[in-house]
Amino acid sequence: MGYFNCSTLKTKTVTDMSADTKIAELLTELHQLIKQTQEERSRSEHNLLNIQKTHERMQTENKTSPYYRTKLRGLYTTAKADAEAECSILRHALDKIAEIKSLLEERRIAAKMAGVYSDSDPPRKTMRRGVLMTLLQQSAMTLPLWIGKPGESPPPLCGATPASSDYVAKQGDKVAARVKAVDGDEQWILAEVVSYNHSTNKYEVDDIDEEGKERHTLSRRRIIPLPQWKANPETDPEALFSKDQLVLALYPQTTCFYRALIHTPPHRPQDDYSVLFEDTSYADGYSPPLNVAQRYVVACKENKKK
Predicted confidence pLDDT, tens digits, the chain (306 residues): 444 444 433 444 555 668 889 999 999 999 999 999 999 999 899 999 999 999 999 999 888 889 999 999 999 999 999 999 999 999 999 999 989 988 888 888 887 777 655 555 555 555 677 888 999 999 999 999 999 888 899 999 999 999 999 999 999 999 999 998 777 789 999 999 999 999 999 999 999 986 546 789 999 999 999 999 999 999 999 999 999 999 999 999 999 999 999 999 999 999 999 999 999 999 999 999 999 999 999 999 776 555
Do 26 and 108 lie in one domain? The reply is yes
Beta-sheet strands, E only, within the chain: 174-180, 186-197, 202-207, 215-219, 223-225, 246-250, 256-264, 273-277, 290-292, 297-299
Q: Which pLDDT value is given to residue 111? A: 79
Contacts of 287 (CB under 8 A, 6+ apart): 276, 277, 278, 279
Do 84 and 41 lie in one domain? The reply is yes
Q: Which pLDDT value is given to residue 125? A: 56
Contacts of 65 (CB under 8 A, 6+ apart): none
Q: What angle do CA 186, 284, 182 make, to 5 degrees?
A: 15
Q: Which pLDDT value is given to residue 4? A: 41
Which of 66, 81, 114 is a domain's end point? 114
Distance CA 221, CA 22 (A): 37
Do 245 and 273 lie in one domain? The reply is yes
Any domain includes 137 = no
| Among the listed residues 226, 227, 89, 267, the one whose alpha carbon sits nearest the alpha carbon of residue 146 | 227
Q: Is the pTM of this model over 0.85?
A: no
SS3 content of the chain, % helix, strand, coil (to 5): 40, 20, 40
Q: Which pLDDT value is given to residue 1? A: 40
Q: What is the CATH number of the domain that holds 185?
A: 2.30.30.140
- At residue 177, φ and ψ (nearest 5 deg) are -125, 135
Model confidence over 22-47: pLDDT tens digits? 999 999 999 999 999 999 999 899 99
Model confidence over 84-116: pLDDT tens digits? 999 999 999 999 998 998 888 888 888 777 765
Residue span of the structural domain in which 35 resides: 7-114
Any domain includes 129 = no
As for how many domains the chain has, the answer is 3
Report residue 81 CA to chain centroid gap.
30
Distance CA 246, CA 251 (A): 14
Residues 257 and 189 sit within 8 Å (Cβ to Cβ): yes
Residues 41 and 35 sit within 8 Å (Cβ to Cβ): no
User: What stretches of 62-152 show up as alpha helix (H) in DSSP?
Assistant: 66-114, 129-141
Residues 143 and 227 sit within 8 Å (Cβ to Cβ): yes
Do 11 and 65 lie in one domain? The reply is yes
Any domain includes 149 = no
Do 47 and 18 lie in one domain? The reply is yes
Any domain includes 232 = no
Do 190 and 266 lie in one domain? The reply is no
Do 197 and 254 lie in one domain? The reply is no
Any domain includes 150 = no
Q: Which pLDDT value is given to residue 8? A: 39
